[in-house]
């Protein structure tokens, strides 16, 4: 896993975006410079993660994604510096994402008055592990739960018919927290009534969490029971491995689950936009950074730029009907 230097860099990125976002309303030039610098640091952050995703995690989706994120972050900073001020909201959302995710990633267990308080990540991993175990048993399987390398009870133990032991451990990346943080950060950053922000969260969080539990259950069973022991030589060559028992893991997680997660995130984004159309501009900015093309998602998805009240009038920032009839 990335070490202390990576954690420090991550907090520096979040702090830079946070300060820049706070400065923007009053000292725009200084705030913009801070945010542009934040995008540069964010590019550096993704760059140092590439070897971890490619060589340690052996994840082509995450490895390619982190590599592509480097020029995209630089380009976002360049566009913001050049006057695309609409990127301010996307920039602010990064700080919210980090503030939600990094405490789980970086805060360790602490001892107070002789009592050990577990790290936030440990608590979350235990909860997801317990719920995954319940789903596995609901499907009629009975794997043994054993402590992982860190001593946390987060590892499922399967034994193949020939007696080979397969261990599948859940880590923070298996909790769905990353995806939840992305949506929560975006929702928090836009200017909209809190009631509709909470409604958008109420749509995104349960769906992501439920899909993640389905994912961990699927991978555990397919890997543990070796249900995708296909194209062994080809898969091992592709992932640079020699253990034939890992083929089912690579196919179920790195290929099937990570590919479907992209589709799921697109679907969740659409559902959230239905509840919080103010996010349209942020998503369009992100698409522009990705493709260098302007998009009108409001027209494509038949969504207003601002939510509409029951009486047919656009909702203002205070949550009441806006008599100006602007959309």
- Give pLDDT tens digits for 59-81: 877 889 999 999 999 999 999 99
Does 32 fall in a domain? yes
Residue 180 sits in the same domain as residue 216: yes
Does 36 fall in a domain? yes
Does 309 fall in a domain? yes
Instruction: Tell me: pLDDT of 320 over 50.
Output: no
Instruction: pLDDT band for 219, please (50, 70, 90 cuts).
Output: very high
Q: Residue 150's pLDDT is what?
A: 82
> Residues of the chain with pLDDT > 70: what percent?
93
- Candidate list 174, 196, 254, 306, residue with the active-site label: 174
Does 112 fall in a domain? no
The residue whose two tokens read 């509840």 is: 275
Does 113 fall in a domain? no
pLDDT digits (tens, 9 = 90+) for 240-255: 899 999 999 999 999 9
Separation in Å, CA 114 to CA 110, 220, 305: 10, 36, 55
Higher pLDDT, 113 or 171: 171
Residue 87 sits in the same domain as residue 161: no
- Candidate list 92, 121, 133, 215, residue with the active-site label: 215
Instruction: Tell me: pLDDT of 307 over 60.
Output: no
What 3 state SS string does 170-233 have? CCHHHCCHHHHHHHHHHHHHCCCCHHHHHHHHHHHHHHHHHHHHHHHHHHHHHHHHCCCCCCHH
> Residues of the chain with pLDDT > 90: what percent?
79
Does 59 fall in a domain? yes
Please give the Cα distance from 100 to 255 (Å, whole number): 28
Q: Residue 1's pLDDT is what?
A: 58
Which pTM does this prediction carry? 0.89
Instruction: pLDDT band for 297, please (50, 70, 90 cuts).
Output: confident
Residue 101 sits in the same domain as residue 124: no
pLDDT digits (tens, 9 = 90+) for 92-113: 999 999 999 999 999 998 888 7
Write the CB contacts of 101 (distance below 8 Å, at least 6 apart in sequence). Answer: 177, 178, 181
Residue 128 sits in the same domain as residue 275: yes
pLDDT digits (tens, 9 = 90+) for 28-64: 999 999 999 999 999 999 999 999 888 888 787 788 9
Residue 58 sits in the same domain as residue 142: no
Residue 270 sits in the same domain as residue 138: yes
Residue 144 sits in the same domain as residue 43: no
For the record, the structure tokens of 303 come out as 């969504």
Task: Give Cα 130 distance to the centre of its chain.
Answer: 21
Instruction: Tell me: pLDDT of 192 over 70.
Output: yes
Last residue of one domain, picked from the residues 86, 107, 128? 107
Write the CB contacts of 215 (distance below 8 Å, at least 6 apart in sequence). Answer: 174, 257, 260, 261
- Mean pLDDT confidence for 162-182: 96
Residue 101 sits in the same domain as residue 123: no
Instruction: Tell me: pLDDT of 25 over 50.
Output: yes
| Range in 96-100, 160-164, 317-321 with the lowest mean pLDDT | 317-321
Q: Residue 153's pLDDT is what?
A: 93
Instruction: Tell me: pLDDT of 2 over 80.
Output: no
Residue 299 sits in the same domain as residue 160: yes
For the record, the structure tokens of 322 come out as 């806006």
Does 244 fall in a domain? yes
Last residue of one domain, picked from the residues 51, 81, 107? 107
Last residue of one domain, picked from the residues 107, 131, 165? 107
pLDDT digits (tens, 9 = 90+) for 278-292: 999 999 999 999 999
73 is known as an active-site residue: no
* Domains held by the chain: number: 2
Instruction: Tell me: pLDDT of 126 over 50.
Output: yes
Residue 93 sits in the same domain as residue 127: no
Instruction: Tell me: pLDDT of 319 over 80.
Output: no
Does 1 fall in a domain? yes
Q: Work out whether the CA dihedral 314, 318, 319, 321 comes out positive or negative.
A: negative
Residue 240 sits in the same domain as residue 135: yes
Q: Residue 321's pLDDT is what?
A: 41
Residue 85 sits in the same domain as residue 138: no
215 is known as an active-site residue: yes
Mean pLDDT, rounded, of the chain: 90
Q: Which domain holds residue 75?
A: 1-107
Q: What H or E segment, with its residue span, contains residue 145?
A: strand 144-146
Q: Residue 323's pLDDT is what?
A: 38
């Amino acid at each position: 896993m990335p070490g202390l230097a990576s954690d420090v860099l991550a907090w520096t990125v979040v702090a830079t975006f946070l300060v820049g976002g706070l400065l923007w309303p009053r000292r725009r030039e200084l705030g913009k410079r801070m945010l542009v610098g934040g995008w540069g640091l964010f590019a550096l952050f993704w760059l140092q993660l590439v070897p971890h995703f490619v060589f340690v995690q052996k994840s082509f989706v995450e490895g390619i994604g982190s590599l592509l994120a480097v020029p995209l972050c630089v380009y976002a900073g360049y566009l913001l510096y050049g006057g695309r001020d609409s990127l301010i909201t996307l920039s602010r959302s990064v700080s919210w994402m980090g503030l939600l995710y990094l405490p789980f990633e970086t805060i360790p267990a602490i001892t107070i008055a002789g009592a050990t308080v577990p790290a936030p990540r440990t608590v979350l991993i235990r909860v997801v592990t317990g719920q995954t175990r319940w789903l596995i048993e609901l499907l009629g399987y009975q794997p043994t739960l054993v402590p992982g390398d860190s001593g946390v009870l987060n590892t499922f133990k399967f034994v193949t018919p020939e007696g080979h032991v397969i261990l599948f451990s859940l880590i923070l990346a298996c909790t769905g927290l990353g995806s939840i943080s992305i949506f929560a950060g975006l929702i928090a950053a836009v200017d909209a009534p809190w009631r509709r922000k909470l409604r958008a969260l109420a749509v995104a969080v349960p769906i992501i969490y439920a899909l993640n539990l389905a994912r961990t259950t699927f991978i555990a069973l397919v890997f543990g029971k070796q249900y995708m022991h296909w194209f062994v030589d080809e898969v091992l060559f592709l992932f640079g491995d020699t253990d034939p028992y890992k083929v089912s893991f690579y196919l179920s997680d790195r290929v099937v689950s990570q590919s479907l997660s992209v589709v799921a995130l697109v679907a969740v984004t659409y559902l959230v936009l239905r509840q919080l159309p103010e996010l349209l501009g942020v998503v369009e900015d992100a698409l522009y950074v990705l493709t260098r093309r302007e998009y009108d998602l409001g027209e494509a998805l038949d969504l207003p730029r601002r939510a509409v009240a029951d009486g047919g009038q656009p909702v203002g920032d205070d949550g009441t009907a806006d008599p100006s009839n602007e959309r």
